[in-house]
Amino acid sequence: MDINGNDFRRIVLQAIYQVLAEEKQKQQAMRPVYVIFSHSFDGPWHIQPELAKGDMLTAVIPDDWPQDRVCCLMADSPFSQVIKQAEAASLSLANSVTIYPAVSHTLAAKAALCIYDTFETQWLGRCISAGSRVHLMLGGLQKFTGKEPDAYVQRILSYYKTLLTYGITIGGYPSRHAETKASRTAKTQAAPSIVLRSHIITASDVYPYAAGTCITIAPDAVVTSLAQDEAEHRQISFVRSSY
User: How confident is the model over 189-235, as pLDDT tens digits?
Assistant: 445 678 888 888 888 788 777 778 888 888 888 888 888 888 887 78
Query: For the residues of 171-234, what is the DSSP string, one character each?
Result: ESSPPSSPPPPPSSPPP-TT--EEE---SEE-HHHHTTS-TT-EEEE-TT-EE-HHHHHHHHHT
pTM summary value: 0.65
What element of type H or E holds 167?
none
| Least confident interval from 26-40, 63-77, 106-120 | 26-40
Residue type, 233: H
| Least confident interval from 170-174, 181-185, 201-205 | 181-185
At 4, the pLDDT band (50, 70, 90 cuts) reads: low
User: How confident is the model over 119-143, as pLDDT tens digits?
Assistant: 999 999 999 999 999 999 888 899 9
pLDDT of residue 139: 83
Residue 41 CA from chain centroid, whole number: 15
pLDDT of residue 16: 74
pLDDT of residue 125: 95
Higher pLDDT, 17 or 185: 17
Query: For the residues of 134-147, what is the DSSP string, one character each?
Result: EEEEGGGBPPP-S-
Alpha helices in 78-186 (DSSP H): 105-112, 119-130, 150-165
pLDDT of residue 184: 33
pLDDT of residue 180: 32
Mean pLDDT, all residues of the chain: 81
pLDDT of residue 195: 85
* Domain architecture of the chain: domains with CATH: 27-171 (3.40.50.1950), 193-240 (no CATH)
